[in-house]
Amino acid sequence: MLRTRVVTAVVALLVLGIVLFVVPAPVAELFIGVVILAGAWEWSGFLGVSGAMSRSAYVAAIGALLIATYLSIPVVSVPVLQIALIWWFAAFIWTMFFPTPIPSFIRMIAGVLVLVPLFLALVLLYRLGPLVLLLALLIVWAADAGAYFVGKQFGRVQLAPSISPGKTWEGAFGGLMAVALLAVAVAYWTDASLAVLLPFCLAVAALSIVGDLTVSMFKRTAGLKDSGTLFPGHGGVLDRIDSVAAAAPLFALGLRWLELV
């Protein structure tokens, strides 16, 4: 299982490297849109609807919103990202009270609040520079990897047993420690102030955990273990971008607020 996960991760990283550093910018941004639409297809599986037509209609609606958002950059950028932060704060509170019934209409709206700001944030970060977007992803990956290995070795106290029994507080702290080390390394190799960068990266990492738990909450409501099977050993698209969905809007706004770029 671990070998499958590693092979899949290596292939995904190679594809990501090509998208970020090789292909023209319009192609890269189109690729981001395609990934989000793949996530929308998986999210349609949370809605309790049957049939490809119903699911395709939801994907089409998300696609229309992505196009409208893309064409409205930069006018809508800050408001959309601010709405995303409000949503993720609400989602954090929501996870504390799960299990609760989630009507299909709410699931539809939640998909919009997850996917559209994520698309916008990724495009904005890419336009700031591929390395900027890569740093946002590295924060999430460091938090995820640290949580996985520390939780596997030392995890005892469950973080959210009703949502994701395998996640532990020890793992969460391990993930934050990994992100702290990443922040120290970035501050060392750049002109960024560690006093600013460290708490910023930790906040982004903490919110990434909320993203993971939130999507897991919707998967549990739909009776699913994974959102899909696109990535062997990892699950679907949403299983790979759930943490990024929460972290990227905060990262994009934080760069602006803190004048880090």
Confidence (pLDDT) at 69: 98
Confidence (pLDDT) at 8: 75
Domain ranges of the chain: 2-258
Interatomic CA distance for residues 118 and 33, integer angstroms: 10
Note down pLDDT in tens along the chain; length 261 residues. Answer: 556 767 777 888 999 999 999 999 999 999 999 999 999 999 999 998 878 999 999 999 999 999 999 999 999 999 999 999 999 999 999 999 999 989 999 999 999 999 999 999 999 999 999 999 999 999 999 999 999 999 999 999 999 999 999 999 999 999 999 999 999 999 999 988 999 999 999 999 999 999 999 999 999 998 888 777 666 555 789 999 999 999 999 999 999 888 776
Interatomic CA distance for residues 206 and 247, integer angstroms: 8
Token pair in block for residue 98? 């799960």
Token pair in block for residue 17? 């490297």
Question: Within 10 Å of residue 251's Cβ, how many Cβ atoms?
Answer: 29
Confidence (pLDDT) at 120: 98
Geometric angle at alpha carbon 34, from 33 and 39, rounded to 5°: 95
Nearest CA to 210 among 49, 40, 62, 88?
88
